Amino acid sequence: MTNTLETKPQSDTQRSVLTLHSAKCLSCKSLVTADGVDLVENKDCHYNNGNSECPASELVLVTNFPIQTIVDRILAAERDGDGSKVLRLYAKLQTYPEAAIQMVMTRIDFERKSKLKHPT
């Protein structure tokens, strides 16, 4: 990808900039995950089809996703020994976009490791 993503502000008063390949990117399922928003699959310009400018090759924008709430519920069910609730929560999690699942799983892993280092 050639200079598509700028992740750091150029100064303390300037915001970071995300330059998109095309306006179509804003409605692309590969880049944006949002409940209640009609998104399309832009296969013709996808990075899997050789488009080195596709921002979805490096990031996914996730909106309206309650990561910490889901993590708290899963960990509480585990702590309570409620296996059926744990299974239901993980089954529900599987209905979300892959990027959101990865964020939840990373957070769960972090919290589990944190508890091991600092037991209460």
Q: Which of 36, 62, 88 is the last residue of a domain?
A: 62
Question: Do 24 and 39 sit in the same domain of this protein?
Answer: yes
pLDDT value at residue 91: 96
Q: What angle do CA 108, 92, 120 make, to 5 degrees?
A: 25
Statement to judge: residues 43 and 82 lie in one domain? no
pLDDT of residue 25: 86
Domain co-membership, 73 together with 86? yes
Same structural domain, 49 and 76: no
Name the least confident of 6-10, 67-71, 102-106: 6-10
C-alpha R_g of the chain: 18
Please identify, among 62, 92, 109, the residue that sits at the C-terminal boundary of a domain. Answer: 62
DSSP, res 56: G
Residues 10 and 53 in one domain: yes
Judgement on whether residues 58 and 71 belong to the same structural domain of the protein: no
Domain interval for residue 37: 5-62
Q: Are residues 18 and 46 in the same domain?
A: yes
What does the pLDDT look like over 17-32, one tens digit per residue? 778 888 888 888 888 8
How many structural domains comprise the chain? Answer: 2
Cβ atoms of 89 and 69 within 8 Å: the answer is no
